[in-house]
Structure 1
Amino acid sequence: MKTLVTGGAGFIGSHFVRSLLADGTGQEAVTVLDALTYAGNLANLRSVQGDPRLRFVQGDILDSARVAELVAGHDAVVNLAAESHVDRSIANGAKFSSTNVLGTQTLLEAAVQAGGVTVVHVSTDEVYGSIPIGSWTEEEPLAPNSPYAAAKAGSDLLALAYHRTHGLDVRITRCSNNYGPYQFPEKIIPLFITRLLQGRKVPLYGDGSQIRDWLHVVDHCRAIRLVLEGGRAGEIYNVGGGTELTNKHLTDRLLDACGADWDSVEHVADRKGHDQRYSVDWSKIRDELGYEPRHTFDEGLASTVSWYRQNRDWWRR
């Protein structure tokens, strides 16, 4: 199989590329298309840069000519190119609409023109909004609350429309909060770890009661592989990690892991429109494709903190 991975130099994308190349027989070629914005980093691919199956192309998913050329030479596309930080979307949502919506449309159009291409569109549980109790199934109507989530919801709807209108083989995944090595230090776990390792304070939004489900990036990438290899066209698959924590509880775990205490925490005004709780029902991907998360949160968090301790040059830049 020849696979194009958009956003393949980012956090999740680089993990996914490494997982593809770790399979000595399943991949004939892997091409990474990445614009190398602030969160894209070629160092994330350093361990596989010598693999003859890997090709890196610096470019924007909005470049229709470049995207069309690349898609035409591949059997599958995994779309991980996205602006993904909620705070940045609140400050300036234009880039989010451009990359997440128009970029996805550019990619889908190229896939239609190429013919015979499978597209796995990687999305987020944030498109569902906030849920006080229970968990969202894939049939839940979309109710995004942030500009980021709204842009991702728009891209999901486009993907489904291209399947229904053109018969394009599109499969959508919606994951819960990812964590692990190589995550740019703006999201809560790497931000708190890197600040605490420097003896700095960390900012906790509001009362810290917001609840998130935590998914190790390696488990997420395995789920994407399962959907790519065995998923059904036009279907949505929720991907969860099975560990729901309040941000306050998460902060407590991070403080302990980094040898700090609550004196290192600075309570700040809550984020605008902050969703209270995310929770996905991932029984569909479990029952259809055999997905189960393999990383416990205790093990995953410990190894993540250890990675940031040992790779200070990576995040200090």
Structure 2
Amino acid sequence: MKILITGAAGFVGSKIVEYLRLGNTEVELLGIDNLSRKGSETNISILEKFNCTFVKGDISVQADIDKLPKVDWIIDCAAEPSVLAGLIGGSLDLINNNLVGTFYLLEKCKRDNAGFIMLSTSRVYSINELNSIRFIKKDKSFVIPESTSFPTGFSKNGVAEHFSTVAPISLYGATKLSSEIMALEYHYTFGFPVWINRCGVIAGPGQFGKIDQGIFSFWIYQYLLNKPLSFIGFGGEGLQARDLIHPFDIYTIIQQQIYSPIETAPKVINLGGGIENTLSLSELNHFCSLNIQKDKKIGSVIEGRTFDIPYYSTDYSIANLHWNWKPTISAYQILEEILDYGRNNLDHISQIN
């Protein structure tokens, strides 16, 4: 079997390569990445370590895809993953990377009769619908209120797959939702297997961390580098909360989708840490204060950013029902791993950040 991993030199892609190799020493692994993200070239050595053939190429360039050998599966980890992408220029690049690239990959699946696994995002869900929920403040975080009148697809367990995807969802969310629809249509038209995994915030060691993507890593690294931080929006108190998921827990379901597929399972599922692994910025800051620097001053900006939401937690009930899946690595375990990685690689992180 030969598996192509796109975005292979990125945080998630390189981790998926690692876990695929550790899970199967015989499978052929092929990775492609355009190395556009600062620091991604340093992950090539990881791919080599796990015997993954690396090709520098861009999935939005048809010629780069056409020159690749025949494969049995494509795991699409390539994306411009920021909800702020395309707001000020760069919208065409966003569409090329996240939508046109998907089209070329699906065409390759059609030619090769290969399966397609897409890592999508929780950002396909309606921003207005999420903002319509009156989350309440409890201690250092927004939490789900006691209510019986939530929008369709929302419950005490968080956001389910049938939650509204009505615009606005950001240009980023729109490219991923469009890619999902295209992938499903290719599946039903041409018959090759397609699985779409909508992921919450992915976090773990090896993530470079940016303010608009990888917030948990970013916050910890800013503490380690003694750089300024601010709570932005929602009163400037750091109450906004997200669940987080480790790449290993994403790998465990990818492994099932490739090697032990359940044909009756829904094609689109949510993956995330869930209610039990949801943390606010204030709670993240408290972790950093206890473990790194007690007296760090945090700025406060009352006004929020475009497309921000107060709360997101994944209802992964469908994944649990059909795949017996649930996250195995807790939020605080993830933070500890990021902190250990940051301390051991601070020089490298300082050059990237």
TM-score (norm 1): 0.90
SS in 2 for 1:228: helix
- Match of residue 76, structure 1, among 38, 51, 73: 73
1:38 maps to which residue?
A: 37
2:220 maps to which residue?
A: 193
Could you report, residue by residue, the CA deviation over 1:119-174 in whole angstroms, capped at 9, with x for unpaired residues?
00110111113433522322334235222112111111111121122223111001
Deviation at 1:101, TM superposition (A): 0.8
2:102 partner amino acid: T
2:48 maps to which residue?
A: 49
SS in 1 for 2:4: strand
Name the CA shift for 1:41/1:300 in 2 (closer, same or farther; >3 Å): same
1:224 maps to which residue?
A: 254
Name the CA shift for 1:221/1:297 in 2 (closer, same or farther; >3 Å): same
2:243 maps to which residue?
A: 213
1:180 to 2:200 alignment: no
- Match of residue 90, structure 1, among 63, 87, 99: 87
Contact 1:185-1:315 within 8 A present in 2 as well: no
Which runs of 5 or more structure 2 residues have no equivalent in the other structure? 134-143, 145-154
Distance in 2 of aligned mates of 1:262 and 1:315: 20
1:112 maps to which residue?
A: 110
1:229 partner amino acid: Y
- Match of residue 123, structure 1, among 120, 123, 132: 120
Deviation at 1:262, TM superposition (A): 5.0
Distance in 2 of aligned mates of 1:104 and 1:157: 11
1:136 to 2:159 alignment: yes
Deviation at 1:229, TM superposition (A): 2.8
Contact 1:238-1:281 within 8 A present in 2 as well: yes
- Match of residue 155, structure 1, among 162, 165, 179: 179
Distance in 2 of aligned mates of 1:43 and 1:128: 33
Contact 1:21-1:48 within 8 A present in 2 as well: no
Distance in 2 of aligned mates of 1:210 and 1:16: 29
1:19 maps to which residue?
A: 19
1:15 partner amino acid: K
1:313 maps to which residue?
A: 347
2:245 partner amino acid: L
Distance in 2 of aligned mates of 1:65 and 1:124: 27
1:235 to 2:239 alignment: no
Contact 2:124-2:176 within 8 A present in 1 as well: yes
Could you report, residue by residue, the CA deviation over 1:290-315 in whole angstroms, capped at 9, with x for unpaired residues?
22211122222112111111111331
1:299 maps to which residue?
A: 333
1:84 partner amino acid: P
2:64 partner amino acid: R
Deviation at 1:254, TM superposition (A): 2.8
Deviation at 1:77, TM superposition (A): 0.4
2:93 partner amino acid: K
1:104 partner amino acid: T
Could you report, residue by residue, the CA deviation over 1:263-311 in whole angstroms, capped at 9, with x for unpaired residues?
1x12234211212222222122222222221112222211211111111
Contact 2:2-2:29 within 8 A present in 1 as well: yes
Deviation at 1:40, TM superposition (A): 5.9
TM-score (norm 2): 0.82
SS in 2 for 1:110: helix
Which runs of 5 or more structure 1 residues have no equivalent in the other structure? none
Contact 2:200-2:313 within 8 A present in 1 as well: yes
2:60 partner amino acid: L
SS in 1 for 2:85: helix
SS in 2 for 1:83: coil
Aligned residues: 312
Deviation at 1:9, TM superposition (A): 0.6
Distance in 2 of aligned mates of 1:38 and 1:189: 18
SS in 2 for 1:299: helix
Name the CA shift for 1:39/1:238 in 2 (closer, same or farther; >3 Å): farther
Distance in 2 of aligned mates of 1:140 and 1:110: 31
SS in 1 for 2:118: strand
> How many percent of aligned residue pairs carry the same amino acid?
29
Could you report, residue by residue, the CA deviation over 1:89-141 in whole angstroms, capped at 9, with x for unpaired residues?
333333211110111011111211222x0000110111113433522322334
